[in-house]
Amino acid sequence: MTPLNRFLACMLTLTLSPLASSAGETELKIVTTTGMIKDVVQQVAGDRATVTCIMGEGVDPHLYQPTSADVRKVLGADMVFANGLKLEGRMTEVFEKSRTMGNEVVVITDRIDKSTCLESPDYPGEHDPHVWHDVTMWASGISIIVEELSRIDPDGAEIYKENGEAYADRLNALHGYITWVIGTIPREQRVLITAHDAFGYFGRIYGIEVLGVQGITTESEAGISDINTMVDFIVDRKISAVFIESSVSERNVQALIEGASSRGHEVKVGGMLYSDSMGAPGTWEGTYEGMIEHNVNLMAASLGGTVPEGGFRGARTHAAEGS
């Protein structure tokens, strides 16, 4: 029996109080796997829930190994929200044990129409889990969160509904902003090359060609032939910038730059994108909207596009002030 299994077996002997019997408690205890999920849940829940995220800034969810503290959080929560599509593959066992105890684990992508999901080029028959990079797909999860929170906290249902609608409006505005900004990048430079293939949904909806050195999961390894093929592409297409990611080693991206340089083509690092995790808590990039805006502005600035003064955040602030 592994250490994790032993810990889970021990936890199964404990009796956790259900929400309904928690007299006097004014807040739900919600746990999410990623920061992107935490942000949308917090936006919907407002001050009716304390939302805790397991995987924080700079964490690669593909490789994340749950700790004993994570298990305690999951088993002690009123509800857990996960991404699914094998993004948190190493937490599957924890979720299964939690369900056997009657605890709620909501997998958001379970309710997304799978016909809209991209298939993994590395694992035929499996879907790309990086759905949050399509803002419209991510916004479709708001109704799921509203429904589930309302089910365990009926008194807050109207609040959840209002918060969800307000947040959906903001994400709709963000979608429009992205569409415009990406459209300003010259078509021949509208190519996004990153450390791993996390931006497929982004590329599909916003019209930019996406290539990753590694596949959709960072558990895959890029070989010499993969690097050489990508270098050929960069040189042939005269690509001006490639991008590193906050949660993935930049080693392979640096290999692309060196390979292109050896063939007489200079390509720069366009900057660091947030792919599988958000920025630091308490910062704009530590929110879903800020994470996405950061990425879009960086792409445009590095690939010859236009970033409006103040960006999306500035426009949102002016709107809130009634300007």
The two structure tokens encoding residue 55: 């995987």
Task: Give me the pLDDT at residue 217, please.
Answer: 56
Nearest Cα neighbor of 257 from 305, 198, 193 is 193
- Helices 35-45, 142-152: axis angle to 10 degrees equals 60
* Domain 3-175, CATH among 3.40.50.1980, 3.40.50.2300, 3.10.20.310, 2.40.37.10: 3.40.50.1980
Radius of gyration of the chain (CA): 21
pTM reported for the whole predicted model: 0.87
In sign, the C-alpha dihedral spanning 137, 138, 144, 150 is negative
- pLDDT tens by residue, the chain, 323 residues: 443 444 344 444 333 333 333 334 458 999 999 999 999 999 999 999 999 999 999 898 988 999 999 999 999 999 999 999 999 988 989 999 889 888 889 999 998 888 999 987 777 888 999 999 999 999 999 999 999 999 999 999 999 999 999 999 999 999 999 999 999 999 999 999 998 789 999 999 999 999 988 755 545 555 688 888 899 999 999 999 999 998 788 888 999 999 999 999 999 999 999 999 999 999 999 999 999 999 999 999 999 999 999 999 987 776 666 64
Task: Give me the pLDDT at residue 214, please.
Answer: 76
* Domain 185-320, CATH among 3.40.50.1980, 3.90.550.10, 3.30.70.240, 1.10.390.10: 3.40.50.1980
Task: Give me the pLDDT at residue 266, please.
Answer: 96
Task: Give me the pLDDT at residue 320, please.
Answer: 64
**Would you mind telling me the total number of residues written for the chain in this entry?**
323
Nearest Cα neighbor of 209 from 231, 227, 229, 234 is 234
Query: Which residue ranges does the chain devote to CATH 3.40.50.1980?
Result: 3-175, 185-320
Task: Give me the pLDDT at residue 3, please.
Answer: 38
Nearest Cα neighbor of 43 from 314, 289, 279 is 289
- Helix H, strand E, coil C: the string for the chain is CCHHHHHHHHHCCCCCCCHHHCCCCCCEEEEEEEHHHHHHHHHHHHHHEEEEEEECCCCCCCCCCCCHHHHHHHHCCCEEEECCCCCCHHHHHHHHHHHHCCCCEEEHHHHCCHHHCCECCCCCCCECCCHHHCHHHHHCCHHHHHHHHHHHCHHHHHHHHHHHHHHHHHHHHHHHHHHHHHHCCCHHHCEEEEEECCCHHHHHHHCCEEEEEECCCCCCCCCHHHHHHHHHHHHHHCCCEEEEECCCCCHHHHHHHHHHHHCCCCCEEEEEECCCCCCCCCCHHHCHHHHHHHHHHHHHHHCCCCCCCCHHHHHHHHHHCCC
In sign, the C-alpha dihedral spanning 34, 36, 40, 43 is positive
Task: Give me the pLDDT at residue 321, please.
Answer: 67
